[in-house]
Structure 1
Amino acid sequence: MEPLELPLTTDRLRLRTYRESDAETHLPIYSREDVSRFLLEDPWTAEVARAQVAERMHRTGLETESRALALVIETVDGLDSLEGSHVIGDIAIWLDDGSDEKAEIGWILDPAASGHGFATEAAIAVLNVAFDHYGLHRVFAQMDARNTASAKLARRIGMREEAHLRKDWWSKGEWTDTLIFGMLSSDRQTA
């Protein structure tokens, strides 16, 4: 499999691999209670940010040993409303255990950057890579059912809700529901 040419670019975004300095740019996002609330982890400390970013720096493609692609979402220079480029979140895709044809996708966006379609733009770019570059059969997303913003994004990018698992995950002291969305390569609408 050919290595993916990075960074990926869209009209307003650059999706690039991690670098050490991303610990500082991600800490203000991941340390927020409202961001970590629906994640499997607690709000980040500076130490956790450094460890997480060091791990993610190796996730540079599904064809690599990591079997994962972790990308930082940053706005491109020169957008009207923003000066310079800003890290606004991240998006990742990783192969499902034992499969080279199924992958899970996940995203985190700074709440301050929501409402502008950035997450939609990034997710569509990564789905295009998943199906067109890697030739995947299926991509799925799992999330806490209370994470309505994430569920809306999954629907907006054309993923189908396939399951609502009731009280199936013990998270932060309570049983929570899980939503599972999926997209098959044959589901895609090509423009």
Structure 2
Amino acid sequence: MENYQAVALAQNQFLETERLILRPVVLTDADALYAYASDAETIKYLSFEKHESIDESYQAIASYFLASPLGKYALVLKEDKTMIGTIDLRLDVGYIAEIGYVLNPKFSGRGYMSEAAKRIVKLGFEQCNCKKIYSKYDVSNGKSGKVMERIGMKPEGILRASFELKGKLSDIAYYGILKKEYDAL
């Protein structure tokens, strides 16, 4: 991450969409995080283990979200301030960034993640000067791929048996969008 990119993320810790506020994750989000991180079905495609207690959610917030908060956001409904998931923009070397996200399944199917991801892509291209933004998902998790398609990402390929997830090797699909493609949207 370049210095000006860190400044851009620091200047954009609070973002808005039509229905969402994207803000830093805080310790008081532990209950909301635990609601989906303790659900085996929700986390089966994610790299972290199921949270067995609320304490694990507090630890995750402290060690991941608070230890290095830039580019990491809680998704909060404007209407009632409910925290429904998280999304992050991880800036790599060479003006390339990765998006990662998780949504409480009680809120899936309503376009919230696509809405948040579009806003994060805008941040990456317009404020952080990214040239490419990509994301990846376990091919068994088609919903995640649909989000990537909705935000203008194109399939780039599948790496077979390339990621160990919950004790088994998974095929991982990569999607990406280039700055010139974003500009044409």
**What is the TM-score normalised by the length of structure 2?**
0.89
Structure with greater helix percent: 2
SS in 2 for 1:54: helix
Tell me if the contact between 1:4 and 1:133 (Cα under 8 Å) persists in the aligned partners: no
Which residue identity does 2:34 align to in structure 1? L
2-structure distance, mates of 1:118, 1:189: 22
Which residue identity does 1:75 align to in structure 2? L
1-structure distance, mates of 2:116, 2:90: 16
- Point out where structure 1 has 5 or more consecutive residues left out of the alignment: 62-68, 78-83
**2:55 aligned to which of 47, 66, 78:** 47
- Corresponding residue of 1:137: 131
- Corresponding residue of 1:91: 87
* Residue 59 (1) aligns with residue 53 (2): no
* Residue 127 (1) aligns with residue 121 (2): yes
- Point out where structure 2 has 5 or more consecutive residues left out of the alignment: none
Shift of 1:57: 1.9
How many residues were matched structurally?
A: 176
2-structure distance, mates of 1:100, 1:44: 35
Query: For each residue in 1:152-175, what CA deviation from the matched residue of structure 2 results, as whole angstroms up to 9, or x when unmatched?
Result: 110111101101111222222222
Which residue identity does 1:23 align to in structure 2? A
Structure with larger RCO (C-alpha < 8 A, sep 6+): 2
1-structure distance, mates of 2:151, 2:170: 24
Query: For each residue in 1:131-161, what CA deviation from the matched residue of structure 2 results, as whole angstroms up to 9, or x when unmatched?
Result: 0011111111111111110011101111011
1-structure distance, mates of 2:120, 2:163: 27
Aligned residues with identical type, % of pairs: 26
Shift of 1:189: 4.5
Shift of 1:112: 0.8
- Corresponding residue of 1:65: none
1-structure distance, mates of 2:18, 2:184: 18
